[in-house]
Structure 1
Amino acid sequence: MILAAFAVPAVMLLAAGGDGYPVAKETARAVPEVSEPCCMEVVASAPGTIDWAVAAGAADGVSPGYTIAASSSRAYSRQDLRVLPAGVAPESGLQIKTILVARAVSAAFPEIHNIGGVRPDALRWHPNGLAIDVMIPNPGSAQGIALGNEIVAFALKNADHFDLQDAIWRDVYYTPNGSRASGLGHYDHVHLTTKGGGYPTGSEMYLR
């Protein structure tokens, strides 16, 4: 069973080519706004803003899921809350929190049809099941850039639930504590890294 709200450290590590990670020191540019979350319960909020929260499974001892603020264009009632099904990412070799973020991205962004997972690499993130690559359709178009921005914002706003370490998109390195220009590219996909949580045993429950 997935538990939410792990602490996220303030300093990241490693500086290398390809998918390397520089230390995030500067206060970064503002995170892009999320416009359309998926499948969450609406709760009371200030006019003009809807707070989304998941409290599914509380009676069964299941920890609450993620929360984000956004518009109501994908609002669903409580009966739509459910365990996250497998998404488009191949899950073999992925760790628990990486599976969670991959499934959540698939559920929230059905326009995503390709998510890469475990692959050979000089750095440990992909080989150890700690990272996914969310491939963006038409990544150089205005729509593609906006979609990538939404996915980054979605991941960062739910960083505790996903135990997110970082995201890389369009030469910017994001962490829950800020972001900076990275020199790492990633113009055709959003790279998301978690802290893993260990490898699944088959008894896990992945919640929205």
Structure 2
Amino acid sequence: MGRHEFASKRHRSSVLMAVVVAPIAVFFAVGGSANSAAVSQNVAVVAEDDSSGGLQLVAAPADYLQQGSPAGFAAASRIRTVDRFLPAGVAPERGLQVRTIQVARSVSDAFPEILQIGGVRADSLRWHPNGLALDVMIPNPNSADGIALGDSIVAFVMENAGRFGLQDAIWRGAYYTPGGGAQRGGYGHYDHVHITTTGGGYPSGSEVYLR
């Protein structure tokens, strides 16, 4: 192999390494400084995490470079990080069990138009008093938009039934259970989506709730 050919191959290898290593370095620089206190502690994870420090590496949209990423960043290395940690939502969490909190935070995160979620309250049945149930209040519940929003929330919790520990959901006279479809008629709940979980126990304060 001639020196010119060898030097050319070395140059191509160096370029390839730069494209691969640069985004990884940026990812770990971000991940190392975000939520470091939470990661260093011995915490219970309510939803499984598969990324470093609760950060998920995803492809950036095509216009990401034009919206503030460092100039000259190679197109092949466009990345962004998404915080996996769920903040508290609109539901009061006092007295809720951990899976119910996971659902409440997830619904608030996925549906920011929801402004009120009820949790623990007095009731003749055990679900609300024991922190197992939520009432997701639907704005303008009898309007087309309100009905569509309620339907979307039911679909969301049913799709995530295993992760949420979902027991059932009730909306507009229909009773939904994981894998069981909908039983219709006589169930009420026309102004809110009722969601019941299997609980998972009361929080200790060390839980981490993830998207």
Decide: shared fold, TM above 0.5. yes
Does the CA contact (< 8 Å) of 2:46 and 2:207 recur in 1?
Answer: no
TM-score relative to the length of structure 1 = 0.65
Specify the alignment match of 1:193 in structure 2: 196
Specify the alignment match of 1:157 in structure 2: 159
Cα distance, 1:80 vs structure 2: 1.9
* Structure 2 CA distance for partners of 1:128 and 1:181, relative to 1, 3 Å: same
Does the CA contact (< 8 Å) of 1:56 and 1:81 recur in 2?
Answer: no
Q: Does 1:183 align with 2:186?
A: yes
What per-residue deviation string (whole Å, max 9, x for no partner) do you get for residues 49-69 of structure 1? Answer: xxxxxx844456x8x9xxxxx
* Structure 2 CA distance for partners of 1:174 and 1:99, relative to 1, 3 Å: same
What per-residue deviation string (whole Å, max 9, x for no partner) do you get for residues 150-192 of structure 1? Answer: 0000000000000000000000000112221141200000000
Q: Does 1:88 align with 2:131?
A: no
Does the CA contact (< 8 Å) of 2:46 and 2:208 recur in 1?
Answer: no
Q: Does 1:172 align with 2:166?
A: no
What per-residue deviation string (whole Å, max 9, x for no partner) do you get for residues 118-172 of structure 1? Answer: 0000000000000000000000000000000000000000000000000000000
Cα distance, 1:2 vs structure 2: 3.4
Q: Does 1:134 align with 2:136?
A: yes
Which structure ranks higher in relative contact order (CA pairs < 8 Å, sequence separation ≥ 6)? 1
Question: Identity of paired residues, percent?
Answer: 66
CA distance in 2, matches of 1:87, 1:102: 7
From 195, 202, 205, the equivalent of 1:202 is 205
CA distance in 2, matches of 1:56, 1:146: 31
Paired residues, number: 145
Specify the alignment match of 2:45 in structure 1: 2
Runs of 4+ in structure 1 off by over 3 angstroms are 55-60
TM-score relative to the length of structure 2 = 0.64
- Structure 1 gaps, min length 5: 5-54, 65-76
CA distance in 1, matches of 2:142, 2:115: 17
Q: How big is the alpha-carbon RMSD for the aligned residues of Structure 1 and Structure 2?
A: 2.1
Does the CA contact (< 8 Å) of 1:135 and 1:190 recur in 2?
Answer: yes
Does the CA contact (< 8 Å) of 1:120 and 1:127 recur in 2?
Answer: yes
Q: Which structure has the larger Rg?
A: 2
- Structure 2 gaps, min length 5: 1-43, 57-78
* Structure 2 CA distance for partners of 1:200 and 1:78, relative to 1, 3 Å: farther
Residue identity opposite 1:2 in structure 2? V
1:1-208 matched pairs, under 5 angstroms:
1-4=44-47, 56-59=49-52, 79-177=81-179, 178-208=181-211
Residue identity opposite 2:132 in structure 1? L
